[in-house]
């Protein structure tokens, strides 16, 4: 075989987990769990609560489950702290996440009570502030009781005449107190504007129903923002090991992380564009890991067949998925191989050292390489990696190109074990 040899391949889940563990310098199970959480949270976002439960179930062990609990607690605390700030109330010190890891579990246990108390304080304060701002308008309303929204929507009462309904100010204040304290400024202003129009409406009872619906819509949006904040915080946590060295554009990676942090802090929405960017980063990492996993497998098998396998520096620096392969028994020839993780292909080309060519030696080296490659493909197939030859060229069908400025002695010095020289250390 001479010239270009292209072989397609498939990488199973175990190989991908191994590749992700190697690329991200983590245990394979943890690396696979993190990427699966990213996939789950982005693809199932429209079923938010199911996605959050599924993400928790993907945790690799109890440490991961605690980490996810900590993520949710931080988001809850941040939302409660923002609500207190919006209401002009002093912060609650207990909502500040601990720095020391041993204190995390205890802090997570106290957060629900602190958050509930903070929400009650903020809701009451915000409702009182709004009612005071509206008091002048409501005072202009002529006397006579008004029914509230629940009474308007309820069936006609049967039996004794009910007690008089509360005055308008009390009804409005009670409705405003049900507004989620995490509602943003736009929603609060919209609710207050609807409440203010009560003084100018003759059909005030029906308008109270409109106010109730506006409050519910604002609460629904606040709940969605909370779910988005938890989703963003969990994705951000799962992306912790992602680095530019994993083939990711550093500016894009930083921008996505900053945007997710904004969502987790309730300062922006989690839109489809951001989800697409996250999915793109995950796909890049998995593609790189798949190529690395296959490259490792190929390097191992060729090493077992007596080849020296090292990184290919022909493009100026070692690149993921590029190998330089030689055999001590054929020092005048080498093979350069490129793994294409996206198209699931492997491209190999044989070269000879610079100097006078020997067509017979070239043909012999190509024939030996083809035979060994067939054996390598068979061994990999036995290990669960299926290779499908796409293009095969018979030995001697074309001249073997020379590597300018490269002699056999230099080739022997630069060929080495791929695994030992081209793998990141795990932390």
> Which candidate, 389, 391, 345, 351, places its Cα nearest to that of 369?
351
Q: Which residue has the higher pLDDT, 6 or 353?
A: 353
pLDDT band at 259 (very low <50, low <70, confident <90, very high): very high
Residue at which a domain ends, from 202, 221, 240 = 240
Residue 330's DSSP bridge partners are: 327
> Which candidate, 284, 415, 306, 303, places its Cα nearest to that of 351?
415
CA distance 185 to 339: 52
Position 102 in a domain: yes
Is 211 in the same domain as 357?
Answer: no
Question: Strand, coil or helix: what is 272?
Answer: helix
Is 295 in the same domain as 227?
Answer: no
> Which candidate, 367, 317, 325, 366, places its Cα nearest to that of 346?
325
Q: Are strands 308-311 and 387-391 parallel, antiparallel or unpaired?
A: unpaired
Residue at which a domain ends, from 175, 206, 240 = 240
Position 320 in a domain: yes
Position 308 in a domain: yes
Is pLDDT above 50 for 45? Answer: yes
Residue owning tokens 């010095």 = 413
Sign of the Cα pseudo-torsion (217, 222, 227, 229, in order): positive
Position 251 in a domain: no
Residue at which a domain ends, from 205, 240, 275 = 240
Query: CA–CA distance from 251 to each of 243, 284, 287, 362 (Å)?
Result: 11, 15, 19, 46
CA distance 350 to 218: 67
54 contacts 48 by C-beta, under 8 angstroms: no
Q: Which residue has the higher pLDDT, 411 or 109?
A: 109
The reported pLDDT for the residue numbered 257 is: 97
Angle subtended at Cα 331 by Cα 330 and Cα 336, rounded to the nearest 5 degrees: 90
Position 158 in a domain: yes
Position 174 in a domain: yes
Is 232 in the same domain as 105?
Answer: yes
Among 66-80, 181-195, 384-398, 411-425, which stretch is predicted with the lowest mean pLDDT?
411-425
CA distance 270 to 46: 11
Range(s) of the domain holding residue 330: 4-11+289-421
Position 108 in a domain: yes
Section 417-421 average pLDDT: 48
pLDDT tens-digit readout, 147-205? 443 443 344 455 554 444 456 667 777 888 888 998 988 998 999 888 888 766 667 77
CA distance 72 to 50: 15
Q: Provide the token pair at 122.
A: 């903020």
Is pLDDT above 90 for 119? Answer: yes
The reported pLDDT for the residue numbered 173 is: 76
Is 66 in the same domain as 150?
Answer: yes
Query: What total of structural domains would you count in the chain?
Result: 2
The reported pLDDT for the residue numbered 414 is: 45
């Amino acid at each position: 075989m001479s010239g270009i040899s292209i072989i397609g391949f498939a990488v199973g889940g175990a190989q991908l987990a191994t590749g992700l563990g190697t690329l991200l310098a983590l245990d394979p199970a943890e690396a696979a769990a993190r990427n699966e959480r990213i996939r789950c949270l982005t693809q199932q976002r429209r079923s938010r609560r199911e996605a959050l439960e599924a993400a928790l179930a993907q945790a690799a062990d109890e440490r991961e489950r605690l980490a996810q609990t900590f993520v949710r607690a931080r988001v809850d605390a941040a939302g409660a702290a923002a609500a207190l700030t919006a209401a002009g109330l002093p912060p609650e010190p207990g909502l500040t996440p601990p720095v020391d890891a041993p204190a995390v579990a205890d802090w997570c246990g106290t957060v629900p009570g602190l958050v509930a108390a903070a929400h009650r304080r903020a809701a009451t304060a915000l409702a009182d502030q709004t009612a005071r701002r509206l008091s002048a308008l409501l005072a202009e309303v002529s006397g006579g009781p008004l029914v509230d929204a629940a009474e308007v929507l309820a069936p006609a009462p049967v039996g004794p005449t009910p007690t008089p309904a509360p005055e308008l100010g009390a009804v409005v204040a009670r409705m405003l107190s049900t507004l989620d304290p995490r509602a943003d400024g736009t929603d609060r202003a919209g609710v207050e504007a609807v409440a203010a129009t009560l003084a100018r409406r003759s059909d005030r009872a029906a308008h109270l129903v409109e106010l109730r619906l506006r409050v519910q819509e604002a609460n629904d949006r606040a709940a969605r923002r909370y779910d988005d904040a938890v989703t963003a915080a969990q994705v951000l946590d799962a992306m912790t090991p992602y680095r530019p060295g994993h083939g990711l554009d550093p500016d894009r990676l930083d921008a996505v992380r900053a945007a997710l942090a904004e969502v987790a802090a309730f300062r922006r929405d989690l839109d489809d564009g951001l989800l697409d960017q996250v999915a793109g980063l995950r796909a890049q990492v998995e593609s790189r890991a798949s190529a690395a996993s296959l490259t490792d497998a190929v390097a191992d098998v060729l090493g077992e067949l007596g080849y020296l396998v090292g990184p290919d520096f022909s493009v100026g620096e070692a690149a993921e998925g590029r190998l330089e392969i030689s055999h001590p028994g054929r020092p005048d020839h080498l093979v350069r191989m490129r793994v294409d993780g996206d198209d699931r292909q492997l491209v190999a080309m044989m070269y000879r050292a610079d100097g006078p060519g020997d067509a017979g030696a070239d043909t012999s080296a190509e024939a030996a390489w083809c035979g060994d490659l067939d054996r390598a493909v068979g061994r990999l197939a036995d290990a669960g990696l299926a290779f499908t030859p796409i293009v095969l060229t018979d030995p001697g069908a074309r001249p073997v190109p020379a590597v300018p400025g490269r002699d056999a002695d230099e080739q022997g010095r630069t060929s080495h074990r791929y695994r030992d020289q081209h793998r990141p250390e795990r932390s």
